[in-house]
Amino acid sequence: MSISQSTSSLWAKKKVENGKDLWLPLVTHLIDTKNVMNWLYQNWLSDSQRQLFKQSPLGANLEKTDVEKLVKFIGFCHDIGKATPVFQRKPSHAHDAELDTRVMEQLLKSGFAGLNVNELSNTKKSPHATAGEALLERWQVPVSIGAIIGGHHGLPLEEKPDRQIDAYTNNYFLTDEEPDKHNIWLRTQTELFEYGLNLAGYRAVNEIPSVDQPQAVILEGLLIMADWLASSEYLSNEDRVELFPLVPLNTSWKDIDTEQRFKHAMANWNLSGHWLPQVVSTSSDPYQKRWGFDARPVQAAITKAVAKTKEPGMLIVEAPTGLGKTEIALVAAEQLAYIDGENGVFMGLPTQATTNAMFDRVDDWLEKVAQSQDESFSIKLMHGKARFNKHYERIPNASNVEDPSTRAASVTVNGWFSGKKSILTEFTVGTIDHLLLMGLKQKHLFLRHLGLSGKVVIIDEVHAYDSFMNQYLYKAINWLGAYHVPLVILSATLPKAKRNALIEAYLVGKYGTKHPKNFKAPKNWQESEAYPLVSIVDGTELKQVTKFEGNSDQKPFHIQVKRINPDNNQLIQAVLAKISEGGVAGIIVNTVKRAQALAKLVPKGVELMMLHSAFLAPAREVQEEKLQKAIGKRGQRPKKMIVIGTQVLEQSLDIDFDVLYTDIAPMDLILQRAGRMHRHQIKRPKNLQTPELFVMGINGPGDYGKANEFIYQKYLLMKTDYSLGDRISIPQDVSKLVQAVYEQANDNQIPVEQMPSLADVRKVFNDYVKKESAKAQTYQVNSPNYFADLHGWLTRPQKDIDQDEQKASAAVRDIQETLEVVLLQHTDKGDFLIPKQTGQKPTPIAKASNNQIAQQVIRIPAVVTAGEDLNKALDELTEITSQLYPNWQNDVWLKGSLALPLDNHLTATLGSWQLSYSTGLGMSYVKESHNDN
């Protein structure tokens, strides 16, 4: 089948570059996208993703050839809506009048008479994605397929465009009347449609199958990826490696060798190897192979248990801190990827700090995996400050490495996978937000589902998420279940109710019910308080491992618990006395303000380290590195040191205190904090041989101070207070203590006189959980519905969360919106970067790169920008930035940044607050007092 002159004259893209008129014929772009989408399906999707089309509960089970045809058809027809007068009249993006005139003349010469003079009404009502779906509907293509075409710019229509062509006929045919078969627009559209059918291998439209909703989400994601790739002229802005360039305007589509063009582009784009997971032998020790140490009994038992799974779903590992759960997860990822046919890994962590710490470990593992396959793999660090991570920045760009046939295997970064495409990288380490966002109604959500549906997903510190975040977590797990994605979930302190909810969320997503037909599980599995505990969802069977042969993973040790209630001065004096003969003391408090107040009381001459969220990003990274080098595994421990920090110290950091002081917190977090004490087998000072945990802030039953009760639910603090004795045996007491706090059924056994008003506080807690759960529903996608198509799936109340990563993350964390600023010192002697450490000289910004300036970011405390103060602060900072740093808006690193200049004393006034910064303490704030006299 051939393409007519008129059809070949339609344009898909046009622009002027370096004084040259460039364009891309529409048919060329359709063939490019068809070729790319077919290649991605055949070569980039995982085996597991391709299997989804054979496993629909509706019986819409497609054979491989059926899917191949459908993929080609969707890829070709995605922009068929551009074959309309309403699109072909559009000006070029830069409104180059001469180019637009030449293109129009070309169209008029090809037979599209009247296109330049006929007026069209309501042109905005027929964008080309909508027009494409309307045309496919006219040709009776299945609704589920048409919805994919209509949504390929990231947002499906709310409903079918039933009357789109009737209502806006001239947008489609240049006439308000029903066109006859001689209408050139109708002929052209039909010709393209039949050409697409023919290229796909269909003889008639009734051969096109319907798909269920999860299948449609994957196809939509694949189409968006293919369209973006086929629309990429270069690999990235920095790497001007050619992909699918536009051609001179005098080039006809017949002059373009689309097959050679496609092969050239894919050779330039496909820079990394494809992971081919290998079987993990249980006869040898994979831990020796990857890390050079023998597997501990729990590690070995989990490896053997995973090896026996046939249809892996979810693996939940509950085990003490310091046991090597990260290594367990990575070995399991290799096993599960091999069994299930996945081709990547995503690891999600609670915070940017924990993500940075984990990235190095995953990168080291991936280097060994790449070497074992003699390949190069791409990795991505995913959080808002990733570009400032030194380790990540040192990883070579995939386009800059030597020829694959001569170089050694390595880990690289592919510049094409940026922004919303980042999640498509095979190996990704990021904050948990990137998983939770699977449940948020956000434009281009399909790319996130596509990227995660082909990976093994690892969730670390799963206990760290609150009631609001949990709703997004369960929704994401619903969808991972629908995609049959293997999940590895890690926790040292998991309430059994949450464990059960995680398992049931996966089963609901995969089978549509909490307990599918023929579901097998150990007796009373929902009540298990065994510890360590491994739960494995294998198809419709739940297996639990509670006994571990030769269980000597962690010699039982006992923590002495003491309740103290000193003021700040007394606390520091007690700590100094405790480490008078040497040792490292940790103090974990619940607020930055308290941490700063305590730090000011530490006498000079005593080594002090601080870690909390109110430091500049570069300073915090330096502190994390110093902390790991000092008291991490194989660290060079100082003779005497005090470490003061907030909740960031309780998550994922492999550090070791000799003694620990902590503010009261819920039991699971107390145990997490205690897990940073006596973590490694090292020699300790004589008087610190026994682990001691000092718990502060308990003023009396039900009285824990305003700050602690503001941060944590009072009900959980009361239950923790009641359940916490004077000794904790690790690991025997861990699960028992966690369940004692989170299990409400045992509340009636607590004497009223010991915990007065517990029933009232429990009601407040339950109302809070209910309210948070309901609030999370507002912007959530629905759970998988195999009987639905994509119409309305992303329809939501208006909220600007599509382009702004910070706003999207805030939407799944329910955090109070605040502002991030670039903090600089602005004086009469010039502007300076604030030093990372005390004692360093400030760097003039004239000698700094814009990249370095952009790294000087910090979040303004939420209390400063609460309520209406947010917009006032935004206006004030925008004005300051435009006055002092007008060139920022033209820079790739600084565009959109807000500056907060500090004076000679590193202070500034914002609204009614005074902000101060110290290299030793971080940012602090006080409300300015106004004296009317």
Rounded Cα–Cα distance for residues 933 and 930 (Å) = 9
Contact 257, 263 (CB under 8 A): no
Per-residue pLDDT reduced to its tens digit, 740-789: 999 998 898 899 889 999 999 999 999 998 988 888 888 899 999 989 99
Range in 32-41, 286-295, 310-319, 379-388 with the lowest mean pLDDT: 379-388
Q: Does pLDDT of 815 surpass 80?
A: no
What average pLDDT does the segment 315-343 reach? 93
pLDDT of residue 891: 87
pLDDT of residue 782: 93
- Show the DSSP H helices in 840-885 as ranges: 850-854, 869-884
pLDDT of residue 806: 62
Rounded Cα–Cα distance for residues 875 and 292 (Å) = 56
Share of the chain above pLDDT 70, in %: 95
| 617-631 and 352-373 helices, crossing angle to 10° | 70
Name 820's bridge partners: 859
Tokens of residue 892, six digits: 């790739």
Q: Does pLDDT of 295 surpass 50?
A: yes
Average pLDDT over the chain, rounded to whole? Answer: 90
What average pLDDT does the segment 53-59 reach? 73
Per-residue pLDDT reduced to its tens digit, 189-231: 999 999 999 999 999 999 999 999 999 999 999 999 999 999 9
Contact 440, 407 (CB under 8 A): no
Tokens of residue 728, six digits: 């904790």
HEC assignment per residue over 165-205: HHHCHHHHHCCCCCCCCCCHHHHHHHHHHHHHHHHHCCCCH
Contact 789, 147 (CB under 8 A): yes
Per-residue pLDDT reduced to its tens digit, 520-561: 999 999 999 999 999 999 999 999 999 887 655 557 789 999
What average pLDDT does the segment 565-587 reach? 96
How sure is the predictor about 932, in pLDDT bands with cuts at 50, 70 and 90? very low
Rounded Cα–Cα distance for residues 516 and 774 (Å) = 26
How sure is the predictor about 476, in pLDDT bands with cuts at 50, 70 and 90? very high
H helix and E strand count, the chain: 33, 27
In the chain, what are the domains? 5-269 (1.10.3210.30), 286-545 (3.40.50.300), 557-742 (3.40.50.300), 816-927 (no CATH)
State how far the alpha carbon of 472 is from the alpha carbons of 382, 675, 770, in Å. Answer: 18, 28, 14
What average pLDDT does the segment 854-875 reach? 88
What DSSP line would sit under 787-845, residue for residue? T--STTTT--S----SS-HHHHHHHHHTPPP--EEEEEEEETTEEEEPPSSTTPPPEEG
pLDDT of residue 550: 61
Rounded Cα–Cα distance for residues 220 and 133 (Å) = 13
Per-residue pLDDT reduced to its tens digit, 720-735: 999 999 999 988 899 9
Exposed / middle / buried, residue 637 (Cβ in 10 Å: 0-12, 13-18, 19+): buried
**156 cis-preceded (ω within 30 degrees of 0):** no
Per-residue pLDDT reduced to its tens digit, 887-903: 998 888 888 899 999 99
HEC assignment per residue over 335-351: HHHHHHCCCCEEEEECC
Per-residue pLDDT reduced to its tens digit, 642-686: 999 998 888 767 789 999 999 999 999 999 999 899 988 899 999
Cα-Cα-Cα-Cα dihedral of 395, 286, 321, 472, to 10°?
60
Q: Does pLDDT of 814 surpass 70?
A: no
Instruction: Output phi, psi for 486, to 5 deg.
Output: -70, 130
State how far the alpha carbon of 44 is from the alpha carbons of 148, 218, 372, 438, in Å. Answer: 20, 13, 21, 21
Distance of CA 413 to the CA centre of its chain: 17
How sure is the predictor about 148, in pLDDT bands with cuts at 50, 70 and 90? very high
What average pLDDT does the segment 297-316 reach? 94
What average pLDDT does the segment 13-18 reach? 94
Closest by CA position to 650, among listed 674, 681, 622: 674
Rounded Cα–Cα distance for residues 258 and 274 (Å) = 25
pLDDT of residue 813: 75
pLDDT of residue 933: 43
Per-residue pLDDT reduced to its tens digit, 381-417: 888 777 777 778 788 876 654 444 434 447 888 888 8
pLDDT of residue 241: 86
Contact 292, 513 (CB under 8 A): no
pLDDT of residue 822: 94
Q: Does pLDDT of 314 surpass 80?
A: yes
Instruction: Output phi, psi for 318, to 5 deg.
Output: -110, 110
Instruction: Output phi, psi for 482, to 5 deg.
Output: -60, -30
Share of the chain above pLDDT 90, in %: 69
Rounded Cα–Cα distance for residues 129 and 149 (Å) = 6
pLDDT of residue 197: 97
